[in-house]
Amino acid sequence: MLNNKRLIIMFKGKSNSTSKRSVCIIGAGAAGICALRHFTDHVDHFNPIVCYEQIDNVGGTWNYTEQTGIDKYGLPIHSSMYRDLQSVFDTLLINPLLINSFYFYSTNLPMQVMAYPDFSWEHTQSFVHHSLVLKYLEDYAKHFNILPYISFSTRLEKLQRYNNQWKVVIKRLEDSQFETHYYDIVIIGTGRHSFPHYPPLESISKFNGNIIHSHDYRHRESFHGKRIAVIGGGPSGFDLVIELSTVASFIIFVNRGPNQFENLPINIEQLQGEIVDEFDENLIRIQMKQSGELKQFLIDCIIFATGYQFDFNCYEDIGLHLNTDDTIDGLYRHMINIQQPTMLMLGVCQRGVLPFPLYHQQILCFLKLMIGEIPMPSIEEMEQDVKEYDQLRKSLDIRDVDRHSLKPGIFHHYIDSLECFGQLKPLSKGVLKLHLDLNQIRIKNLIGYKKMTFKVTDDDYQLVSENEDGDLM
């Protein structure tokens, strides 16, 4: 953990006489530290620059904790990270089916494509344990010397537009003191994987077994011999079914999306369908998407890997609207507050994105707008841009609820247009190419793909090995 005592509390958040603008960043996860790294390169334009972080380290969700529920300050645990499958032998003993296809919990993207463009991943390994991602983020923060700007154990309590500035109320968690500061620019990097989303299911109270959300899943120990339903085919869903297949007696993996995984362990039944809101004791019913057939299963436990929702509780009159389907109205390119363009909101785009490179490009673009290197579009231009994106989305049959979900193809289109708008150095073609291909690689080989090692160059990528021994099998 980093030492909070290093913080230089010299920043009081007022614009100073030389008319430099003050900047407040909320959250020191991958988004917040990236914003700090770039804004602190421009202290000739911005001063003070302050980042408030409620926990005592950088890295956000990559700070694994055994704890679930609430922390020592009574706040909801932020991290949704689960422990790893450390031991190959353990895995083999329990599920010999995985002999040729060890599956460790590690990143679900190769580090070479996860990394920020200006701080490369130096190791050869591609899929790494989450502790190494945390180490990478800590190293990034140290390398760019941004720790002195972070006020740890400090939580944003309220954000409001006030007299042409941002009124920021914070709470110092160690002594419960509240403070109010005013800033010219605010950057929100509070993450979007902390507040669980559950599908609305009225009869779920009739279910007798255990129910948890993937946010509270830590390890497989308590699932030995259980019959489990994992709902949701996103990264948490597919990670958990593979991990749990080593201990559970049977898993139904309810994945309504078009991507159905191949070659899964035999104790996993993959169902392309929807849960039916008719729970009964230990019974769960699934309606199959293609045939309409109703299937029912006796299970002990349901794990909802059904994603997360935004938390807007701290915000008052900020000019954005959170819809009931968890989309946000009022954001230009999913990031800039149209009515109050001195606010950048990071982490809104999800699914199929490359979070660290995305933050890097979004922040550079916003920085150029704030410095005046590129002109800020008018409100009308920004609203028109949102309309055009909506038309494109509808022509591709992307639902309103998936407005911020940028599947890889759309993500690449988004990044291209951002790079063009911000006159930015493009992300490497090799990174984008591997990112695009990875979905198919994963679908074909869900239990083996994390053993693969890739080499990524500016223009292309290569599969270097398919297993831990470095062999191309």
Ligand X SMILES: Cc1cc2nc3c(=O)[nH]c(=O)nc-3n(C[C@H](O)[C@H](O)[C@H](O)COP(=O)(O)OP(=O)(O)OC[C@H]3O[C@@H](n4cnc5c(N)ncnc54)[C@H](O)[C@@H]3O)c2cc1C
Binding site for ligand X (CB under 6 A): 26-32, 52-55, 60-62, 78, 80-81, 107-109, 114, 155-156, 189-191, 193-194, 235-236, 314, 346-347, 355
Q: How do 301-304 and 227-231 pair as beta strands?
A: parallel
Nearer to ligand X, 84 or 269 (CB): 84
Please tell me the distance from the alpha carbon of residue 394 to that of residue 391, in angstroms, as a whole number.
Answer: 5
Q: Cα 325 to chain center, whole Å?
A: 18
| Nearest distance in Å: CB 89, ligand X | 24
Could you tell me the two tokens for 14? 């007022």
Q: Which is nearer to ligand X, 60 or 209 (CB)?
A: 60
For ligand X, give the closer residue by CB, 346 or 410: 346
Whether 252 and 246 have beta carbons less than 8 Å apart is answered as no
Work out how close the CB of 328 gets to ligand X at its nearest, in angstroms, rounded to a whole number: 15
The nearer residue to ligand X, 54 or 405, going by C-beta atoms, is 54
Question: Minimum Å distance from CB 327 to ligand X?
Answer: 17
Q: Are strands 185-188 and 343-345 parallel, antiparallel or unpaired?
A: parallel
- Environment class of 122 (CB within 10 Å of its CB; exposed 0-12, middle 13-18, buried 19+): exposed
Q: Please, what is the angle between helix 130-143 and helix 30-39, to 10°? A: 20
Q: Which is nearer to ligand X, 347 or 377 (CB)?
A: 347
Q: Whole-number minimum distance, CB 280 to ligand X, in Å?
A: 31
Give 26 or 141: the residue with its C-beta nearer to ligand X. Answer: 26
Compute the half-sphere exposure of residue 395: CA atoms within 13 Å on the CB side of its CA. Answer: 7
Q: What's 319's DSSP letter?
A: S
Shortest Å distance, C-beta 445 to ligand X? 17
How far apart are CB 370 and ligand X at their closest, in Å?
20
The length of the chain in residues reads: 473
Give kind and range of the element (H or E) at residue 213. Answer: strand 210-213
Are the beta carbons of 283 and 205 closer than 8 angstroms?
no
Report, in Å, the least distance between residue 239 CB and ligand X.
7
Q: Whose Cβ is closer to ligand X: residue 156's or residue 370's?
A: 156
φ, ψ dihedrals at 343, nearest 5°:
-115, 130
User: In the complex with ligand X, which residue's Cβ is closer, 22 or 350?
Assistant: 350
* Cα separation, 435 vs 41, whole angstroms: 29
Tokens of 156: 């944003």
**Residue 367's Cα: distance from chain center in Å?**
22
Residue with tokens 């579009």: 377
Q: Is 180 left (phi over 0), alpha (psi -120 to 50) or beta?
A: beta
d(CA 435, CA 410): 12
Rounded CA-CA distance 217/169 in Å is 32
C-beta closer to ligand X: residue 54 or 255: 54
Nearer to ligand X, 109 or 186 (CB): 109
CB 81, min distance to ligand X, A: 5
- Rounded least distance, CB 155 to ligand X, Å: 4
Amino acid at residue number 457:
T
Please state the closest distance from residue 347 (CB atom) to ligand X, in A: 4
Q: Would you tell me how many other CB atoms lie within 10 Å of the CB of residue 204?
A: 16
Among 418, 409, 435, residue whose Cα is nearest residue 360:
418
Q: Which is nearer to ligand X, 84 or 278 (CB)?
A: 84
Q: Distance between CA 320 and CA 341 in Å, rounded?
A: 11
* Shortest distance in whole angstroms from residue 303 CB to ligand X: 13
